[in-house]
Structure 1
Amino acid sequence: MAVISTTQQRDKVSSYQSLRSLYERNITVNSIAEHLATCHLHDDANQIKQLMITKDYDVLGVEDNGIVIGYVVRENLMEGICQEYYRSFSPTELVSESTPLLQTLFILKEIDRIFILEGNRITKVVTLADLQKPPIRMLLFGLISLLEMHLYRIINDYFPNDTWKQHLNPKRIQFAEDLFSLRKSKNEAIQLSDCLQICDKRDIVLNEEALRERLGIDTKTKGKQFFKKLEELRNNLAHSQNINTEDSWNEMFSLIEQTEKLLEECEKIN
């Protein structure tokens, strides 16, 4: 097996960082935002509530003299006019249309909805339900794939000549070797480590104590819990399933934060 030089390793890390910046900076909140429909300050609240039920709106912007000055929440509307129920926008609820999608996720960890500023006008809204949309799925799948690429690079560096085999059981090694033979028969220029699955990379990293500590993984138990959830998320993304498993967005946000942290540690190993 060819030895990868330090320069080549740095180039790989740099290329991965470039790929990561694509997800972090070039996909913005606008890709999942919905147009903010509006009502007027003096509209009948009950009528607006019925309209929101019919249209399946959770929130509606409130206009006064042609300017959106706040919003109403469907479940709060009762007798009276919308002026009695509208909320002014909080600074924490407002983001620019150019806000990166990844940053949006962390904002929605703290609040249920955000409103989008285009210039000096509030024109769009994003709620937790919008996190099921394709751009979010692309972002999350990209981050997981990027993590797998880093782990592959690190494993090849740490374990020359397939010495990573010491950390896998015979069944997993055989699976990799069978896949390797199949792909080689198709004239693919690969090595055995190309055939490792995410569960294999997990076991190799977690069983190598020095590497595990370098990646900031406290214990094997915590590492297994993290990778199990990450694999479940990847499978849900790949099969177009609901990504909010067990209706816990907090758990999802925590998993994304952990993935980001692990990616940062991977990038330090070059």
Structure 2
Amino acid sequence: MRLIITFILLGFAIGSNSQIIQKPDSSTQIDSTIKTIHIFVALCDNKYQGIVPVPAKIGNGQDSNNNLYWSCGFGIKTYFKKSKEWKLIKVQKIDSTRLERLVFKHTTKNYYLIADAYNGRYIKECTIDFLRSSSGQLKDTIRINNKVIGISGNAELAAYIGHNGLMDFQLSEAFKNTDNKTRDVIILACISKNYYSAHLKSAKVNPIVWTTGFMCPEAYTIHDAITGYLNNESNEKIRTRAALAYSKYQKCSEKAARNLLVTGW
């Protein structure tokens, strides 16, 4: 049974005053031949997010091993591990906020995909990190096989997956572009275009796919969108891939999926 119901009701305000601030190592030189995609996943959380509760085992935002958006059949970790397009090369435990980091390498292209599973309690921090990365305020690097690759604001594409925390809390911070670089973004969360637009206008991003209504942010949608992205397809073609995947797995009409998943401003 589909869990789209989990996104329909707005919850009470949540969040934390603490924020994650990552400082890049300025002494490292990013390998310019390698491109990256960074996915920020706020784990589903019955206790700390304003959602209709899902079964306890998959709605524990402190357990990445069983979470709906991470380790279930259509979670980011499980779905991408099964993909013929990606190979998992590293799993890393980080801290109590970012419970797990995955690093995938594309099987034919010089692209890496980094996915971070944020403790569901810290959905606000996950949202802020995504917005800071989209504007270039937050930049970082990681080392893979003696090569330094860019993540956060150093990635070509930043994506957010999960509950729309902006329904539950407000952000006063301005996310103004810092380096005049236009970054590509995908936001798979309920009504994301409406809630994220104001925060991303000054970030000067290119919104490839975001949403106009309630949705289930399972991994097939972003997986197929990324396939088009790596093929240098237009925003509209990438959006079509995302809509077709959503239509297939959610068993809704293509028209409904296209109305939900949109591109551009």
Structure having the larger proportion of residues in strand: 2
Q: Which has the larger radius of gyration?
A: 1
Structure having the larger proportion of residues in helix: 1
Fold-level match, TM-score > 0.5? no
Q: With structure 1 as the length reference, what TM-score do the two structures score?
A: 0.20
